[in-house]
Structure 1
Amino acid sequence: MKSFHVTTFGCQMNEHDSERMKGMLESLGYAEAAARDDADLILFNTCSIREKADDRFVAHLYEARALKRRDPERVIGVGGCWAQSQKDAVFRQFPFVDVAFGPGQVHKLAEFLTADSLTAQGFFEFEGFTGHLPAKREREFQAWIQISAGCNMKCAFCIVPTTRGREVSRPFEELVAEIEVLAADGVKEVTLLGQNVNSYGLGLRPQPRRFSELLYAVDAITGIERIRYTSPHPAHMREDVIRAHAELDSVCDHIHLPLQSGSSRVLKRMRRTYGRERFMDRVALIREHVPDCAITTDIIVGFPGETESDFRETLEVAEEVGFDGAFTFIYSPRKDTEAAAFSDEFIPHEVAVERMERLVEVVQRRARERAQRFVGRTLDVLVEGASRQDPTRLRGRSSHNKVVNFDGLGEPGEIVPVTIASATSQTLAGEASFLSRLS
């Protein structure tokens, strides 16, 4: 039996795509290898959002080249956004790669592997959703659901429209049927994935749909206890979706709302289609309808032309909102994006690093302060396994997407009430409520 090993870089959509790759390969008779050097097929599912992701991947790719030199029969495959962005150069730069494919061509990997002759090939046209492929889930009780692919926004810094194409939504009934099957198979938590989930279904014909409709339909499926989604766009975050959080027990108390910058001037240059006022209005609406909702975000520091005054506006928003967590990044120019042409306005690296340090201090301090609201409360925690810091304890997540490490009993996939004793900016700690479990 031939074996494979997959290394995944990047976002939740890539994690979803990797699970589909694994499921497809097992359906072809391959077995997953625990280590790369034990695999006949070495696969990389790549990200190209930031330069650092590119650099990490290339280092891994050269490790695979060394393994192929020892065993020329090994096959090396590169999928995902980096492969798509480098489609004209991948085989020239890395001649040891056997197959490369974009996010819309994952199924072509099977076609390549079953061909009579394995000559180097690339597949880069969008031909279908990876959600149609079989999956090998990391956890039996959790599942990623691809509801759409691509993006119609034109953010100046973002390469996603280039690598994943125009937005296409999967049929409503198809998604509901897929989740019904997953629920019957023991899945308790689903995460709905799209580059801009808020705009799901608007282009479906003959009957357009809304994202909130999908949330209500999934909530009605027996067995689904938690619904998460990522990522929405602040310009399209509508009241109907926020009300779904308030009205549906299964929709988690967590919204990831990417800010990117607190300066309306910078947001306009980013082509984000909203300003600071609109973002703060959405935050106010969320907290009006779902007061306990955790709000997390993405923030880019050092976008070309960002002044000290612009950056202070970002600090002001971070202070005022009090995000429960944030992914913070120093701007990285990407090929084929509008902002890559702003080179005469690039921020010196040392300035961006200093701004990043100031931002992280505010984000972590406010997240730590926000987390104190959980101390003394009992939260329902979906057990995921042993704690990474202490294997004698358990680890899971609350509805607010907070990692909870706790003492007590619980099996992976079980929802356990945990009384929270302490909180940091990133994690909660406590003890399972034994009496509650008995009841």
Structure 2
Amino acid sequence: MNAAKTFHVTTFGCQMNEHDSERMKGMLESLGYAEAPEQEGADLILFNTCSIREKADSRFIAYLQQAAAHKRRAPGTVIGVGGCWAQSVKHDVFRQFPYVDVAFGPGQVHKLAEFLTTDSLTAQGFFEFEGFTGHLPVKRARDFQGWVQISAGCNMKCSYCIVPATRGRQVDRPLDELVAEVRDMVENGVLEVTLLGQNVNAYGRAVRGGERSSFAALLHELDALDGLRRIRYTSPHPQDMKEDVVLAHAQLESVCPHMHLPLQTGSSRVLKAMRRTYDRARFLDRVALIREHNPDIALTTDIIVGFPGETEADFAETLEVCEEVGFDGAFTFIYSPRRDTEAAELVEDFVDHEIAVARMERLVEVIQRRAAERAQRFVGRTLDVLVEGSSRTDAARLRGRSGHGKVVNFSGLAEPGEIVPVQITAATSQTLAGEMSLLARALV
């Protein structure tokens, strides 16, 4: 009996790519492939790529070159490249990398199976959006947590962002289709879902094959599903953060008390150059509305340092907003020019790298200090924690995540997938620590 062919998937970038990679793995296993722990020796080497930042491109190319070396030693190896990078260089991928056998964009994941089951594996590329991957088999990283793609593409025109060029204009899935998918997930043991889209709170305006809806309506429908304990989502846009979604956080038990609201910069002048469609005052107004209805909510954000033309005064405004808001955490990035974006043409306005690095250090100090201050509100409280496994720093302790999105390392006896009460005893800017009593576990 011949051994099953093997595959190895390397994923770069966002949660949407994590979602698509889980679908690729499920699809491949349904075709009889087995997952290999390492790239070396795999019959099929797959990359799910990202184009948001230059660093991701560089890392991917290094991995791709390793795969090419492996293919020279084992000529029967198939190399596949999917995701945003593949979409962005669709006209050149086979010319630049002749050892690639198949390339496909985010809307063509299902074509991988078609390619692998053809009689002749000649190089092929698939880049026209055909549909979502929700119907494909899935192999989840954790059985109790699942990604749900509610839309694809984006109608915004941020001057630094390549996503509209790689994923196209926004297309939404019908509400009843999403509810059915999540219901099936819950019936198969999923407790927590994360809703994915480039601009999730714009959901419902561009439904393919269904009636218009809204993101708040989707949250209400999912909250009504028995057995679904937690709903998360990423990422919303401040322009579309309306009161109905804010109220959903306050009214719906399963919607987590955590919101990721990208700021990008605290300077209205730079926000305009970024084409972000809101200014500093509008962002702060949204924060005030959110906290009015959800005083305990955890707010996280994205911030770009060194956008072309950013002055010291502009950067100071970013620091001021971060001090005022007191984010619970932030993803911070030094601006990276992306091909085919408006901002990449502003070469004469590029900020010196040394200046950008120095600003980043100052920003991180503010973010971490304010996050540490905010985290102290949890000390002495008991939080429900979804157990994910062993602590990464101490194998004798457990690791999980609170509804606020905070990582919690704690002592106790529990299995991955359980939601247990943990008394918080200490807090840093990034993690919480605590103890779970045997009595508390008995009451779960």
Tell me the TM-score normalised to structure 1 length.
Answer: 0.99
Matched, 1:89 2:92: yes
Quick one: which amino acid aligns to residue 431 of structure 2? T
Aligned to 2:417: 413
Contact 2:215 2:245 in 1 (8 A): yes
Contact 2:414 2:441 in 1 (8 A): no
Tell me by how many angstroms 1:38 deviates: 2.8
Aligned to 1:10: 13
Aligned to 1:255: 259
Tell me by how many angstroms 1:107 deviates: 0.7
Aligned with 1:405: secondary structure? strand
Give the Cα separation in 2 of the matches to 1:244 and 1:57: 39
Tell me by how many angstroms 1:438 deviates: 1.8
Aligned with 1:37: secondary structure? coil
Tell me by how many angstroms 1:199 deviates: 0.7
Aligned to 1:192: 195
Query: What CA RMSD, in Å, does the superposition of the two structures yield over aligned residues?
Result: 0.8
Give the Cα separation in 2 of the matches to 1:169 and 1:363: 34
Tell me by how many angstroms 1:48 deviates: 0.5
Quick one: which amino acid aligns to residue 300 of structure 1? I
Aligned with 2:313: secondary structure? helix
1:28-427 equivalences in 2 (<5 Å): 28-204=31-207, 207-427=211-431
Aligned with 1:392: secondary structure? coil
Give the Cα separation in 2 of the matches to 1:407 and 1:237: 38
Contact 2:134 2:181 in 1 (8 A): no
Quick one: which amino acid aligns to residue 314 of structure 2? D
Over residues 379-398 of structure 1, what are the superposed CA-to-partner deviations in whole Å (9 max), with x where a residue is unaligned?
00000011111111100000
Over residues 193-233 of structure 1, what are the superposed CA-to-partner deviations in whole Å (9 max), with x where a residue is unaligned?
00000110122366310100000100000110000000000
Question: Please, which runs of 5 or more residues in structure 1 have no aligned partner?
Answer: none
Over residues 326-382 of structure 1, what are the superposed CA-to-partner deviations in whole Å (9 max), with x where a residue is unaligned?
000000010111111111101011111111011000001111111111111110000
Tell me by how many angstroms 1:66 deviates: 1.1
Give the Cα separation in 2 of the matches to 1:270 and 1:365: 27
Count of residue pairs brought into register by the alignment? 439
Give the Cα separation in 1 of the matches to 2:11 and 2:41: 17
Give the Cα separation in 2 of the matches to 1:60 and 1:422: 40
Quick one: which amino acid aligns to residue 324 of structure 1? D
Give the Cα separation in 2 of the matches to 1:70 and 1:368: 51
Aligned with 2:40: secondary structure? helix
Tell me the TM-score normalised to structure 2 length.
Answer: 0.98
Give the Cα separation in 2 of the matches to 1:208 and 1:374: 40
Over residues 4-25 of structure 1, what are the superposed CA-to-partner deviations in whole Å (9 max), with x where a residue is unaligned?
0000000000000000000111
Q: Percent identity?
A: 75
Quick one: which amino acid aligns to residue 263 of structure 1? S
Give the Cα separation in 1 of the matches to 2:267 and 2:360: 15
Quick one: which amino acid aligns to residue 379 of structure 1? L
Question: Please, which runs of 5 or more residues in structure 2 have no aligned partner?
Answer: none
Give the Cα separation in 2 of the matches to 1:325 and 1:283: 14
Give the Cα separation in 1 of the matches to 2:337 and 2:437: 49
Aligned with 2:86: secondary structure? helix
Quick one: which amino acid aligns to residue 32 of structure 1? E
Give the Cα separation in 2 of the matches to 1:104 and 1:438: 46
Over residues 23-82 of structure 1, what are the superposed CA-to-partner deviations in whole Å (9 max), with x where a residue is unaligned?
111111111111111310000000000000100111111111111111010001010001
Tell me by how many angstroms 1:433 deviates: 3.0
Give the Cα separation in 1 of the matches to 2:324 and 2:256: 23
Aligned with 1:38: secondary structure? coil
Aligned with 1:326: secondary structure? strand
